Structure formats: C-alpha cells, structure tokens
Chains A and B, each alone.
Chain A
Amino acid sequence: MNPLNPQLVMYEEEQKQIQAIAERLHQDSRARTILLIDKNGQLVAAAGDSAALDTTSLSSLVAGNVAATGGIAQLLREDEFTAQFHEGKGMSIHMSLVGRRIILVVLFDKNTTQGLVRLRVKKAQEELVPIFELLAKKATTQPSSPFGAEITDQDIDNLFND
C-alpha cells in the first residue's frame, strides 16, 4: 500500500450515506448538479441533473484542474487552496476539497447564488469528512482484492477476447 496514495474503496452503506448528503446538498443549494470526484479523477457520486453531462470527462478535467491548483499552492508555499470557483454566463462551478482525497463539485445557474452554494457546501463537507475517513480506515484494514484469490489468468484473458 502506498501511504501517499491510499486505495479508495466504496461500500454499499457508505455509498448510500454519501448519496443522501449529495441529494440534500442539491436540494438545499438549489444547484443543478452535485458531483463527488476522487482526486485521481474517478466519479464517486452524482446528484441532480447529471444524465446529460459527460461525467467521466468532467471528473478527469476537474481532477486535473484541482491537481494543477494544488501544484500552484505548493510553489507559493500554501498548504492547499481548498476551494475554487469559475463563473460562466449561464453556468458556474464551485469546487472544494473534502478531506485530502475527495473533490466536491457544485454546478449551478441563476437559480441560486454563490453565497448560498458556499454555505450549503460547508455543511455538506462537515458531514462527508467522517464518512471518507471511515472508508480510508476500512481500506487499510480489510482485504482490498475485489475478486478474492479465485480470479484466474483465463478470466483476465477473456476481457481482451474481442
């Protein structure tokens, strides 16, 4: 296990809790879409209007953006810039860190304000942090092989047989 890049593992129970927080944030902030993305660019949860979005591409670009911002912070001897905001004509995006590993993204339009979004994000962050801390602890204490030892070379080969 690499101590700087611990494995992220998600279980049913925590996924439900995280999803509920994302849904509530979506309602309370009157935002269009809520995304939770891990810093490596993997989508963890989505709430609101996400069907029309290319969430895979968005996740990768948001993670790249946050990584670049983190790199700038280091050069300026800042520990981290914990939030950033891009304002567009129709749509704006607010990105903030949850703990060390997760990015909370809020996409919103004229239906709400940046102030309300920030206020609600803060509350959601407080609820999310302990859940991700628990997940991080679980990842180090529970076996992380998803298929146990029973997966064969043939199983892996079969993936490429088309």
Chain B
Amino acid sequence: MSFINYSSREINCKLVYYGPGLCGKTTNLQYIYNKTRPEAKGKMISLATETERTLFFDFLPLSLGEIRGFKTRFHLYTVPGQVFYDASRKLILKGVDGVCFVADSQDARYDANIESLENLRINLQEQGYDLDKLPYVMQYNKRDLPNAMSIEELSAALNPTRVPEFEAVAPNGQGVFDTLKALAKQVLAELRKGT
C-alpha cells in the first residue's frame, strides 16, 4: 500500500511490472530511466545474474511532481519472470499499489503469458489482493516482431476484464510511457477515493 506522509507532504506508491521471462519488463524500466529528466529520477538498480536475467528485482524511483501540494513519488519494480523464481515474485508484490502486466506478443510465448498471468493472480491472492480490484494495465510488447499475434487474439486471451491495454515496442519506447501514465493515473484515482 502507498505511504502517505502528511508531515513531509509526500505520497509514495509502488508499481510492479509483471510478466513471463524475457517479455521486456526490465527494458520498459530502462527506457523510462533513459528518457526521464535527471532531477525526476533516482538510480536504477538491477539485481540480475551474470547473463543479465533479473534475479530478484529492478527498481526505479520516479518523482512526478506535485498534486495539491503533495509530492508524488512512484517506485517502479519488475519481478524476475523465470518460472522458478516464484518465491521472489511473491515478495515483490508485497505492498503493491498497481500492476502492469507485460505480455510477449510472439505466438510461441502464448502459453507463457497465460501461465504468468495466472501466477500473478494467485500470488496476489496470497497477499490478500484481488487483481480485479487493483489498479491494473496490460501491455502487449514486441509488436514489431513478425510472429506477433494479433491484438484481438491477445486481448481475448489475456484481458477479459478489459483493463486499459497498450501496444509496445519497449526498446524504442513505443507505448512505454502511455502504459506507465495509465497505471499511475489509476493509482492516484484510487488514492482519491481514500481506500
């Protein structure tokens, strides 16, 4: 859950990028890091293996500016996508305010997407969350690849609840900030409700 500090007038929220291995979660964060003004970002931390696979998490702190006198800060995390890192994924979901599911559009990764999404739902339930009640957006990444499935097929399989969805090519930034903005907006709107 978010941390609201009335003393320093700050709101801190935690966003998590989830999805199957090699779907582009870390690439999303790297693009955001590279394109954000230095004063609005902190250091990006990647706890990765020697082959640059995420081992525990990536972390990127962002300051978006003020809203009604409160500084808004977002802490972006990715989870390790590989199936056997499930224990780590559960830990990173603790205290989450919003989730972005990054799907790999390639047809060969269809099953991996389904499995990861199911895993997200289960791991959230273990923490007492319901994915359908959380701020949540869907990103279809790798749209530039020739074996990418159609949006209609992906949407039907992965987004039955029709949350906001975005097409992306994370290395060149297409769709990356649109996805982040949509998620951040949902999180702030949720705070407005005073949940």
Distance, CA A155 to CA B72, complexed state (A) = 12
Within the complex, what minimum Cβ distance (angstroms) separates A150 from chain B? 7
B68 & A60 in contact (Cβ 8 Å cutoff) = no
Contact of A147 among B64, B67, B128 (CB under 8 A): B67
Within the complex, what minimum Cβ distance (angstroms) separates B163 from chain A? 17
Q: Quick check: which of B108-116, B135-143, B146-154, B180-188 contacts chain A, the rest being far away? A: B180-188
Q: Considering only CB atoms, which chain A residue lies closest to B66 in the complex? A: A159
B6 & A9 in contact (Cβ 8 Å cutoff) = yes
Q: Considering only CB atoms, which chain B residue lies closest to A38 in the complex? A: B3
Q: Say whether chain B's binding surface is mostly helix, strand, loop, or mixed.
A: mixed
Q: Considering only CB atoms, which chain B residue lies closest to A68 in the complex? A: B91
Contact of A68 among B56, B64, B185, B194 (CB under 8 A): B56
B12 & A64 in contact (Cβ 8 Å cutoff) = no
Which chain B residues border A40 with CB–CB below 8 Å? 1, 3, 14, 94-95
Which chain A residues border B87 with CB–CB below 8 Å? 71, 75
Within 8 A of A (CB), among B28-52: 37, 42-43, 45, 47
Determine the interface band of chain B, counting residues with CB < 8 A from chain A: 35 or more
Distance, CA A40 to CA B12, complexed state (A) = 10
Q: Considering only CB atoms, which chain B residue lies closest to A151 in the complex? A: B192
Q: Quick check: which of A10-18, A77-85, A110-118, A122-130 contacts chain B, the rest being far away? A: A10-18
Which chain A residues border B11 with CB–CB below 8 Å? 146
Distance, CA A48 to CA B191, complexed state (A) = 33
Known contacts A15-B8, A41-B95, A159-B65; can you find 6 more A-B pairs with CB under 8 A? A5-B95, A7-B1, A12-B6, A39-B95, A54-B42, A144-B4
Sample 18 A-B pairs with CB under 8 A, ordered by A number.
A1-B195, A2-B127, A5-B95, A5-B128, A11-B6, A12-B6, A15-B8, A41-B59, A44-B3, A60-B75, A71-B90, A146-B4, A146-B6, A150-B68, A151-B192, A156-B67, A159-B65, A160-B184
